[in-house]
Structure 1
Amino acid sequence: MNEEFIDALREIVNEKGISEDLLFTTIEDALVAAYKKNYANSSVNGQNVKVTMDRESGETHVYAQKEVVEEVYDETCEISLEEAKEISPRYTIGDIAEMEVTPRSFGRIAAQSAKQVVIQRIKEAERTIIYNEFKEKEFDIITGTIIRKDRGNVFINLGKIEAILGPNEQMPGEQYNFNEKLSLYIVEVKNGTKGPQIIVSRTHPGLVKRLFEREVPEIYNGIVEIKSIAREAGSRTKIAVYSNDDNVEAMGACVGPKGIRVQNIVNELKNEKIDIIKYSKLPEENIANALSPAKILEVKVDEETKSAKVVVDDNQLSLAIGKEGQNVRLAARLTGWKIDIKSKSQALEIIEENDEELLIVEEIQE
C-alpha cells in the first residue's frame, strides 16, 4: 500500500462520513487476522500479534508481542529481560516487547485485506446514512415510484432505497401499476441485517393528516389544528379541525378556494370520501358535528360511561347511522364516545313505555 491508497481512504472518509481512526483501526485488526491465517505455520505462530499502518505512507508492519520476564517458560509469549534490552534498552520486567516479524510478501495480502475492509465499511456507512435519513422521516409522508409487485407486497423506489407496501397497508380496491407515483406514510424504519427496511402505508390515518398539512398552509403553520382523524381506508375519512384564530374558519381553510385543497387530497386517495368536521370542546356539540351530514335533534352524554344518546328525525336515521353503520362508527372513533342513535319516534316510544312503567309502579305503591 502507498500514499495513493491513503489519499483514496481519506476521500472515502470525507464522502461517506466514516471515522478515519475507526477505519484505520478496523483495517489493522483485519490485517492481524490475515497474518494469522496466511502465516499459521510460522515460527511466531501462537504469539500475540500487532499490525500497524502508517497514516501517511500506508506502510504496514507486523510485530510479535511478548511479555518481558526474568525466566522464560513459554517462548511464544515470553522473552527474557536480556533479549528484550537488545531490542530496546527501555524495556523492564512486566513490559510488552515488540519484535518486527513482517513477512516479505505481506504487502500484497495487506492490500487485499484492507480493500475488503474498506468495501465493508463503505457499505455499513451508507446503510447508516440511509437509516438515519429515513428514521428522521418516520411518521411523515414521502413520494415514491412503484417498481414491482411480489407475493402481495408492492415495492416502492424511494431513490436511495426500496420501501415495502405490505398487503395490510394497501388501500382496498386500489391498483398499483408499474412506474406510478404514490404518496406514502412511513410507518416504521428498521435497521435489519441486510440494511435499513422502510415500511410504508396507504391506509394509515397519518397519511391523511400529512396530506392536509401539505395542502393547507394554515395547518402547516399551526393556525388550524387537526384534533382527530377516523378512517376506513379507500372508503371514508372523518377529520375534526379547530382554528386558533378567530379570523380563520377551520373548515373553509381545509376545503380551500372552490374546494381545490380537499379535492387534491381526494384525488390522491383515489376518491376516498372525506368529511371535514368542526371540532368543539363541548362533547354534545362535537358528537353532533361528527355525525354530519345527518341533522341532530338532541345529544345527551354520560360522562361516567363516556357514552352518548342521540336523537334524529325519522328521515335522518339511516343517514346518521350510515351504510353498514359506517357513519356512526367513524363518529364514535373520531370523538372517543360510544354513540347510541334513535329516531324521534323511537325515542318517544321509549319515553311512553317508561311513563307507563312509572304509573304502574305508582299504582302498586298506592
Structure 2
Amino acid sequence: MSKEMLNALDTLEAEKGVSKAVVIEALEAALISAYKRHYGQSQNVEVNFDEKKGDITVYAVKEVTDEVMDSQLEISLKDATAINPAYEVGDKIRFEVTPKDFGRIAAQTAKQVILQRVREAERSIIYDEFSAYENDIMQGVVERQDRRYIYVNLGKIEAVLSKQDQIPNEHYQPHDRIKVYVTRVENTSKGPQVFVSRTHPDLLRRLFEQEVPEIYDGTVEILSIAREAGDRAKIAVRSTDPDIDPVGTCVGPKGQRVQALVNELKGENMDIVEWNEDPAIYIANALNPSEVSDVIFDMENPKVCTVVVPDHQLSLAIGKRGQNARLAAKLTAYKIDIKSESDMEEFYAQLDEQESSEVEETEEIVDSSLEDEANVSDEEVTFDETDESETES
C-alpha cells in the first residue's frame, strides 16, 4: 500500500494540480478521526505519514507530570526518566500505538480523502476557468429545462438561464446552439454555478465585438446600449478615426453585420445611432428614424428636455407603445418629452396670451393706483382750501 499511496499522491499532484503536502495534511487529520472512531482513544493521538516510504504511524502523546491522574494522557516523571533521564515535568512523550490492522483502515481513509481532494480540485479548476469568462460571451447547447431554468451545457459545466434572462417569445429546444452572456460565477457548496443571460445589454456589446473588427480593436466604440430584449435595441457608437463612419461600419455592407446579430437574437431590431458631444444632436440621433425640429432643455433641470418634431412624425418619434421614446431616453440618460410643432405653436400662443394678460393686469393695477393717488391729492387740496376759508372768517 505504501508505494500505491505515494504513486497516487504523485499522480494527483501532476494531473490535478493538488499539492501533495495539502493532501498529506488532510490525510493525517482524517486518520486521527478514524483511529479515535475505531479504537475509542482520546484526543492525545498523532498520526505521522512518511513521505519517503509511505508508512503510517500512530502515536499516543503523554505529558510528564509529578502525579498521574489519567494514564492515557499522562506519565509520571519517574517512568519518563527511566526512558530518558533528560525528561522534565511538562515535556511531551510520544508512544507508538499503531494497531496491527490499521493499514486497512488507513487505506480506506486515504481513498476517501484523495477522492474528496480530487473533487475539490476539479471544482476549483472549473471555477477558476469560468470566472475568467464572467462578463463575457460563450456558446452553449441547450440540454433541458424545468419551471425555473433552462440548462445550457458550456462544456465542463452546466449553466442556468433563468426566466428573466430569457428573451420573451424565444423557444429553446434540446440541442439548440445559443450564445449566452455570463453574468456571474459562484462557488457554492455543490460546486461552481454559472449564471447566463440572453437579455443583458452587454450581450449586444460582445456580439458586436465578434462581428465588427473595428469595435474589437477600439476604432469604433459603443458608448451606450438601450435594449428591450427580443423586440428592439438602440446602440450609440462613435469613431476614434474621423475617416471611419461608425454607423456604416456597424451596419456593414448591405447590412450584413447587423443582420447577423438580428438573426442571432431571433429578429430583434437594431437602431445604430451616432453619439455626439452636443446633447441636442445626440438626442435627435437617438430618436431615429423620426425627424427632429428642435430640442429645448429645461433651465432648472438640465437632464430634462422637450423634443419638437413635425406633426406627421409624432407617432414615429414616440413609437409603438412609446418604445422609441423610451429607448432614446435610456440611451441618452435624458428625460424626453416629445411634442409636435403644432402643439408647440399652441403652447407658445397660450404663453403669449398669458403674458399679454399679465401685462394688461399689471397696467390696470398701475392705472388704478394712479387714479387712487390722484383722488387722494384732490381731497387733500379741497380740505386745505376749506380750512383756510374758515380760518379767515
- Report TM bin, short chain: over 0.9
Q: Is the 8 A contact 1:54 1:60 kept in 2?
A: yes
Q: CA RMSD in A?
A: 1.3
Tell which has more relative contact order, 1 or 2 (C-alpha 8 A, sep 6+). 1
Q: What is the CA-CA distance between 1:199 and the residue it aligns to?
A: 0.8
Unaligned runs of 5+ in 2: 364-393
Q: What is the CA-CA distance between 1:364 and the residue it aligns to?
A: 1.0
Pick closer, same or farther for the CA change 1:327–1:101 going to 2, 3 Å: same
Aligned identity (percent) is 52
> Which range is displaced more, 25-34 or 15-24?
15-24
In the alignment, does 2:324 pair up with 1:327? yes
- Structure 2-normalised TM-score? 0.89
Pick closer, same or farther for the CA change 1:100–1:259 going to 2, 3 Å: same
Q: Is the 8 A contact 1:189 1:198 kept in 2?
A: yes
| Other-structure match for 1:240 | 236
Pick closer, same or farther for the CA change 1:90–1:11 going to 2, 3 Å: farther
| Other-structure match for 2:164 | 168
| Other-structure match for 1:344 | 341
For residues 6-45 of structure 1, give each alpha carbon's deviation from its aligned partner in whole angstroms, at most 9, with x where no partner exists.
11211111211112211100001000000000111xxxx2
In the alignment, does 2:9 pair up with 1:3? no
Unaligned runs of 5+ in 1: none
| Other-structure match for 1:37 | 37
Pick closer, same or farther for the CA change 1:292–1:50 going to 2, 3 Å: same
For residues 139-170 of structure 1, give each alpha carbon's deviation from its aligned partner in whole angstroms, at most 9, with x where no partner exists.
11111000001114210001111000111110
In the alignment, does 2:38 pair up with 1:20? no
Q: Matches of 2:89 and 2:243 in 1, distance apart?
A: 85
Q: Matches of 2:25 and 2:148 in 1, distance apart?
A: 45
Q: Is the 8 A contact 1:47 1:66 kept in 2?
A: no
- Structure 1-normalised TM-score? 0.96
For residues 240-291 of structure 1, give each alpha carbon's deviation from its aligned partner in whole angstroms, at most 9, with x where no partner exists.
0111111222112211222221111111101100100100111111100100
In the alignment, does 2:351 pair up with 1:354? yes
Pick closer, same or farther for the CA change 1:141–1:88 going to 2, 3 Å: farther
> What is the DSSP-based 3-state SS (H/G/I as helix, E as strand, rest coil) of the residue aligned with 1:165?
strand
In the alignment, does 2:91 pair up with 1:95? yes
Structure 2 counterpart of 1:323, one-letter code = K
Q: What is the CA-CA distance between 1:217 and the residue it aligns to?
A: 1.3
Q: Matches of 2:345 and 2:83 in 1, distance apart?
A: 107
More helix by share: 2
Q: Matches of 2:34 and 2:309 in 1, distance apart?
A: 82
> What is the DSSP-based 3-state SS (H/G/I as helix, E as strand, rest coil) of the residue aligned with 2:293?
strand
Q: What is the CA-CA distance between 1:214 and the residue it aligns to?
A: 1.1
For residues 203-234 of structure 1, give each alpha carbon's deviation from its aligned partner in whole angstroms, at most 9, with x where no partner exists.
11011111011111111111111100000000
Q: What is the CA-CA distance between 1:89 and the residue it aligns to?
A: 5.3
Pick closer, same or farther for the CA change 1:47–1:317 going to 2, 3 Å: closer
> Which range is displaced more, 45-54 or 221-230?
45-54
Q: Matches of 1:47 and 1:315 in 2, distance apart?
A: 88
Q: Bigger radius of gyration, 1 or 2?
A: 2
Q: Matches of 1:95 and 1:335 in 2, distance apart?
A: 76
Pick closer, same or farther for the CA change 1:106–1:86 going to 2, 3 Å: farther
Q: Which of the residues 362, 366, 374 maps onto 1:365?
A: 362
In the alignment, does 2:189 pair up with 1:193? yes
Pick closer, same or farther for the CA change 1:91–1:277 going to 2, 3 Å: farther
| Other-structure match for 1:313 | 310
